[in-house]
Amino acid sequence: MAEAKASLPRERPSYWLTRFLVLRVLGLVYLAAFASFAWQVLPLLGERGLLPAASWLGRIQASAGSWREGFLLNPSLFWLDVSDGALLGAALLGVALSLPLLFGFANAIQLALLWSLQLSVVKIGQLWYGYGWEIQLVETGFLAIFLCPLASVRAFPASPPPVVVIWLLRWLIFRIMLGAGLIKLRGDPCWLDLTCLFFHYETQPIPNPLSRAFHLLPHPLLQVGVLMNHAAELVAPWFILGPRRVRHAAGAVMLGFQGMLIASGNLSFLNWLTIVPILACFDDSLLRRLLPRALVGRAERAAAAARPSRAQRALALALAALVAVLSVGPVLNLVSEQQVMNTSFDRLGLVNTYGAFGAVGRERDEIVFEGTSDEVPSETAQWRAYEFPCKPGDPQRRPCIVSPFQPRLDWQIWFAAMATPSQYPWTLHFVWKLLQGDRGVLRLLANDPFPEAPPRWVRARFYRYRFADPEDPSGAWWSRELLGDWLPPLSVEDSRLRESLIRLGWLEPGDPGAPARTPR
């Protein structure tokens, strides 16, 4: 009897529930990405934005010689129209296509449109969209196109999920995790001496309310946390290739690691997006024990009535061949001592290399923008601070919870605090917008300290922030130390500011620039 039982053929893994989860989480990420784009696109990239997309495409066209050559170098639908209406319309279309995906309705046409919109945004987004998760969404979204039939809108369509695409998602998570682990070992010695988490939770781009609690954990526990990081990024990915139970265990380790990252900070939609290919590590044999019985029943009925599609299988094999060819560059980068992170090796971003926190800051420096309506910008003037939605400012303000939404202005000012104004010239344009009382830019802030009229002067102060003691009777979340000025007081009459803006193309030579000082 035992011999007969042992000789039974092993059940082939199925992925009906896997596909369902992959597409639902991807729908959440797309929704967060395009809702964020809709809210921020005009102040950042619009005709009057901080870095207008039209000017960016114009420079590419001038360099390439024609818009067609520019399109080949930088493929984006916005070559057809980059007006404010087109930018906002694309954002709203992305939201409209993401919602049915989130609620269980998906097909290849819908996913191809979402992919092309995301690629188009990345290609005009400049530094606002220069993060690794943007191209990671491009690659993940492209693979997802081939998980679905062409036009069905059912959560469990008649055609089964192509196993080849499931394996390509596993190849993606293998590169994501291993790339992140290797860049840490090569980038900062604190990952080897296990001290990086002594600093990370305090110095990460946008802490959340739990970040201080993580930062104050005993150092031995934080060192264990670094070892867990290495286990999730350097060890677990190799077991994706193993037997079912080993693969499930590896997926669980990586999934738990992403959950911890979500709990300890605001890293945009990066961790939510990384969960998408991690889900490909699990098959229905596990998921049917974890998901609601009604959902499992729908998947089983679809599997019983499945009609495999030869065309879909052929497309999946062609996709695998394409990914194999395009993987050469990313693989060579992984094994290189000069490894770079978050880089595309093809113009469509189909197979990329990833990584995060190759270096960890030891101190948290912040830029605080202040304005005054006084005639003379002295220290005795009445300076009022501009607050950002999530970036630390007022030490009494509790850190926010914003992930998977990303306040992109907050993030870029975090980067600017590690450099000088000459390295981040857009900050001069930002100051000019504050002096103008620009409503678009003010919408990206948490407050308008000058509702009656724009300030006469704006300056940027440079502070060092540290988490305050939770027992501090003032209830402060931060303590801070003034280091000096990052930008001196500037006004619309400042000739140096105006010359810089004219040179950078943000101000016309004849523009008087001074706003009428009347209530808004």
Q: How far apart are CA 1 and CA 220, in angstroms?
A: 53
**pLDDT tens digit sequence for 157-214:** 889 999 999 999 999 999 999 999 999 999 999 999 999 999 999 999 999 999 999 9
Q: How far apart are CA 234 and CA 111, in angstroms?
A: 31
Model confidence, pTM: 0.94
Q: How far apart are CA 375 and CA 15, in angstroms?
A: 68
**Helix, strand, coil percentages, rounded to 5, for the chain:** 55, 10, 40
Q: How far apart are CA 285 and CA 315, in angstroms?
A: 26
Task: Select from 456, 439, 459, 460 the least CA-distant residue to 448.
Answer: 439
The DSSP bridge pattern shows strands 457-467 and 384-385 to be unpaired
Q: How far apart are CA 460 and CA 416, in angstroms?
A: 11
Q: How far apart are CA 137 and CA 145, in angstroms?
A: 12
Q: Say what the pLDDT of residue 335 is.
A: 93
Cα–Cα distances (Å) from 44 to 78, 214, 385, in that order, read: 15, 33, 21
Instruction: Calculate mean pLDDT across residues 485-507.
Output: 94
**Secondary structure class of 417 (helix, strand, coil):** coil
Residue 404 preceded by cis peptide, ω within 30 = yes
**pLDDT tens digit sequence for 131-161:** 999 999 999 999 999 999 988 888 888 899 9
**pLDDT tens digit sequence for 51-91:** 999 999 999 999 999 999 999 999 999 999 999 999 999 99
**pLDDT tens digit sequence for 93-128:** 999 999 999 998 999 999 999 999 999 999 999 999
For residue 253, give both structure tokens.
């380790």
Write the CB contacts of 266 (distance below 8 Å, at least 6 apart in sequence).
205, 206, 207, 208, 390, 400, 401, 402, 403
Q: How many CB atoms lie within 10 A of CB 157?
A: 21
Q: How many CB atoms lie within 10 A of CB 408?
A: 23
Cβ(194)–Cβ(360) below 8 Å: no
Instruction: Characterise 484 by phi-psi region: left (phi > 0), alpha (psi -120 to 50), beta (else).
Output: left
**pLDDT tens digit sequence for 317-358:** 999 999 999 999 999 999 999 999 999 999 999 999 999 899
For residue 378, give both structure tokens.
């002295």
Burial class of 479 by CB neighbour count within 10 A (0 to 12, 13 to 18, 19+): middle
